[in-house]
Every structure is written in C-alpha cells, then in structure tokens.
C-alpha cells in the first residue's frame, strides 16, 4: 500500500475493528477526525501516527511512511505478552490494560512466529491457570475446528470480545456455547476465530521469564 491513509485502514482492520467509528469509539478519538484521516481527506502527522500505531499494535514508521514491517519484530526466541485475562468471571481478555509495550516471554515449545501470550490476573481461572500464569496461543485468526470442542480455547466473538472459554456445541450449526471456569455459560455465540492454548506457564516460572519493556 502506497498511501498513508490506506495503511491506517489496513491496521484498523487487522486489529479487528470493522468500522472507523468502532475504532474511534474504542480509543476515544473524534469520529470525524479519524474518518478523515482514514479516507485520505485529512493527512495526519507523525505524532498522530504514533498514537494510532500504539493503539493498533503496529510500527509508527510503517504507518507514516511505509518503512520496515507493519508489526513490531520481537526479539528472536521471544513472543509479545499482548494482554491480561481472567480479571473477572467472564474470562475477558483485556488488551487495553495489558502488559507494558515491549513485554516479552520466551517462545513456547512448538511455537511459531504467530505465537503470543496472555497473563492471568486474579483467581477466576483457577484449575486452568492461576494468578500470574502465562497462557500461550497461536494468533492465526482461523475459524473453530472440531478438535477444539470440549477444550479451553481463546476465542473472539462478533461483538469484538476476546475470551478464554471452554468451547461447546451450540444449539445449531455455526454457533457455540462458551463455558466459563467460574461464571455463567454463554449460549449460541457467533465466533470470528478460535485458537488452541499451546502452553500454560505457572506463576512462579512466569515471573522469572517475563522480560519487561525496561
């Protein structure tokens, strides 16, 4: 993509926001300003590019002038810690209040360049992962597969929520029940994607291996 505004749109879609208004609302931006930046009517500055890049998890240099790769490159052998999960019974993944930018964890056995990690907060995921544990998954954004049924997986709903839930069959094809470790089961949810959990690291070891941004 040659145009700055086109790269902004690409970044917004890659983050999972279907509309410019949804992204603006999520990050507290003025809808008209953001829409003008994205449709090319109002070119944006590098300072604004840094703000957008931080929100969408991309490199500001790529967004502003197409320099380098779109996504930050993690240190060899490490993956990004992209958020927190389990702070409430819903098992909601909190990207907005996740780790500081640049926090890394070692690549898990069998992990690929798409591997990412979540850190567990609180005790609502007891018996799956305790407070402070790391949960790894492959961020490949593919539909649920039959081998995921009955297992605790990471899912994104059509409401843009990302959850860690046990995946069960819904009442009809194309929908799924999502069983909580602690809390009510969501019934007949529409999913954008689902991912197997590939590794869980206990809290003590997680504290030792997370590499902070500093």
Q: Which two tokens stand for residue 58?
A: 């991309």
> Angle formed by the axes of helices 46-56 and 4-14, to 10°?
20
Judge whether residue 214 has pLDDT over 60: no
Phi, psi of 212 (to 5 degrees): -75, 165
CA distance to 33, 117, 131, 152, 166, per residue, from 185 (Å): 39, 24, 22, 13, 9
> What's the pLDDT score for residue 133?
93
| pLDDT, greater one: 58 or 101 | 58
CA 99/CA 89 separation, integer angstroms: 20
Q: Which residue has the higher pLDDT, 150 or 183?
A: 150
pLDDT of residue 176: 97
Element (H, E) at 176: strand 176-179
Has domain 4-65 been given CATH number 1.10.260.40? yes
> What gap in Å lies between CA 15 and CA 184, rounded to an integer?
28
31-34 contacts, C-beta under 8 A, 24 or more apart: none
Residues in contact with 152: Cβ distance below 8 Å, sequence separation at least 6, in sequence order: 128, 164, 165, 166, 167, 181, 197
- Smallest CA-to-CA distance from 41 within 49, 32, 50, 30 is with 32
Task: Report pLDDT digits (tens) over 23-44.
Answer: 999 999 999 999 999 999 999 9
At the second CATH level, the architecture of 78-209 is: Ribbon (2.10)
Place of tokens 């994104």: 156
pLDDT digits (tens, 9 = 90+) for 152-201: 999 988 887 888 999 999 999 999 999 987 778 999 999 989 999 999 99
Angle, to 10 degrees, between the axis of helix 4-14 and the axis of helix 20-27? 70
**Pair of tokens at residue 192:** 């954008």
Domain map of the chain by residue range? 4-65, 78-209
Percent of the chain with pLDDT over 90: 45
């Amino acid at each position: 993509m040659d145009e700055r505004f086109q790269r902004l749109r690409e970044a917004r879609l890659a983050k999972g926001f279907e509309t410019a208004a949804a992204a603006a609302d999520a990050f507290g931006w003025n809808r008209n300003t953001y829409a003008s930046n994205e449709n090319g009517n109002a070119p944006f500055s590098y300072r604004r590019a840094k703000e957008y890049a931080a929100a969408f998890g991309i490199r500001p240099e790529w967004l502003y002038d197409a320099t380098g790769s779109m996504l930050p490159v993690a240190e060899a052998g490490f993956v990004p810690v992209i958020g927190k999960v389990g702070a409430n019974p819903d098992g909601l993944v909190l990207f907005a209040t996740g780790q500081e930018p640049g926090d890394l964890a070692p690549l898990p056995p069998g992990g690929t360049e798409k591997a990412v990690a979540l850190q567990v907060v609180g005790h609502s995921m007891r018996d799956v992962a305790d407070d402070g544990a790391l949960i790894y998954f492959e961020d490949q954004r593919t539909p649920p597969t039959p081998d995921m049924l009955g297992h605790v997986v990471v899912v994104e709903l059509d409401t843009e929520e990302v959850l860690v839930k046990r995946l069960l069959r819904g009442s009809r094809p194309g929908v799924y029940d999502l069983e909580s470790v602690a809390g009510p089961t969501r019934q007949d949810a529409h999913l954008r994607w689902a991912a197997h959990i590939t590794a869980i690291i206990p809290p003590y070891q997680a504290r030792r291996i997370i590499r902070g941004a500093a």
